[in-house]
């Protein structure tokens, strides 16, 4: 499913229509853009020495795969830089706002100059632009996205709702992204590198402590568990942590006691009815029913099944 359109178009952020590879002069007025990507007609594209352009510490994206950069470098060598970099002045030099991939690829092929649009922007605006550029192009991995939201919230004292509005995301989307930062650092690295899926990671967030998370990750990797099997594993690990001493069971799934067949039957019927994992706890007339869900859409579906209408 395509990502929702963000609050501001890339054209508005990156200076409108692309420029020719070899402009007839050192600078010129950017072409008029459509109403969707209208920019200040006074903005000018300039050519500046590559050595005077530097990356920003605010950049949320940290991973730049070398293969993709090599492909971009080959394209720039053949066609030139079609879209100018966006920079802001820093003394006699410039700090990148948008276009770090193009800047890195230009370094690889030894370009002397690059086209830029210079903007005077404060840190908050720069961070917003960087997040929007990367999110619209789907360049951020899930951990980079979460760290970007965290920096926006903490540096400028924003609520999750305010941060979401700034970058055109839903508050729930921002909140779910930030939850990934509760993973053990080793697992955050696995998500960043694509060795652990976001689906698996979200399930593992039900485990509050890092050792349990790492144990779950080891079992997932060892047994090749899918997300549904991971839900069952996490449920067992949670129950192991809270069960009375006589009811402890191994994390690999073999229980040391026999559950009542009627309880198992009811639990299975609930799972079939709701289409998700259900855990039924019962002891001497008391207990709880735990219903798992892993997205807003899934919660809405479950609520509809049980007849709960949202205002």
Closest CA to 81 of 138, 18, 15: 18
Query: From CA 48, how far away is CA 46, in angstroms rounded?
Result: 6
Q: Could you confirm whether 144 is annotated as catalytic?
A: no
Closest CA to 306 of 265, 278, 281: 278
Question: Burial of 98 by CB count in 10 Å (0-12 exposed, 13-18 middle, 19+ buried)?
Answer: buried
The one catalytic residue among 100, 144, 145, 267: 100
Neighbours of 263 (CB within 10 A): 13
CB 67 within 8 A of CB 108: no
Among positive and negative, which fits the CA dihedral 254, 258, 259, 265? positive
DSSP, collapsed to helix, strand or coil, labels residue 94 as strand
Which residues carry out catalysis? Answer: 100
């Amino acid at each position: 499913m395509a990502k929702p359109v963000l609050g501001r178009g890339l054209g508005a952020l990156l200076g409108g229509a692309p420029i020719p590879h070899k402009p007839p002069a050192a600078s010129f007025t950017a072409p008029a853009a459509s109403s969707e990507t209208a920019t200040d007609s006074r903005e000018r594209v300039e050519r500046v020495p590559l050595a005077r352009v530097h990356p920003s510490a605010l950049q949320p994206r940290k991973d730049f795969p070398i293969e993709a950069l090599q492909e971009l470098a080959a394209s720039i060598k053949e066609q030139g830089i079609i879209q100018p970099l966006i920079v802001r002045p820093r003394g006699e030099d410039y700090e990148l706002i948008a276009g770090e991939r193009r800047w890195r690829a230009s370094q690889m092929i030894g370009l002397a100059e690059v086209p830029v649009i210079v903007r005077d922007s404060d840190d908050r605006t720069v961070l917003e632009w960087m997040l929007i550029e990367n999110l619209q192009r789907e360049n951020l991995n899930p951990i980079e996205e979460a760290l970007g939201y965290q920096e926006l919230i903490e540096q400028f004292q924003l609520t999750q709702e305010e941060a979401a509005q700034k970058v055109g995301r839903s508050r729930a989307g921002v909140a779910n992204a930030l939850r990934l930062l509760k993973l053990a650092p080793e697992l955050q690295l696995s998500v960043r590198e694509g060795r652990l899926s976001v689906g698996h990671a979200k399930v593992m967030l039900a485990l509050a402590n890092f050792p349990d998370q790492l144990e779950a990750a080891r079992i997932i990797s060892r047994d090749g568990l899918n997300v549904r099997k991971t839900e069952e594993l996490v449920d067992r690990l949670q129950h192991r942590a809270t069960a009375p001493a006589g009811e402890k069971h191994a994390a690999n799934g073999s229980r040391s006691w026999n559950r009542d067949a009627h309880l198992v039957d009811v639990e299975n019927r609930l799972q079939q009815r709701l289409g998700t994992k259900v855990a039924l706890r019962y002891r001497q007339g008391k207990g709880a029913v735990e219903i798992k869900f892993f997205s807003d859409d899934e919660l809405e579906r479950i609520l509809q099944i049980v007849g709960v209408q949202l205002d």
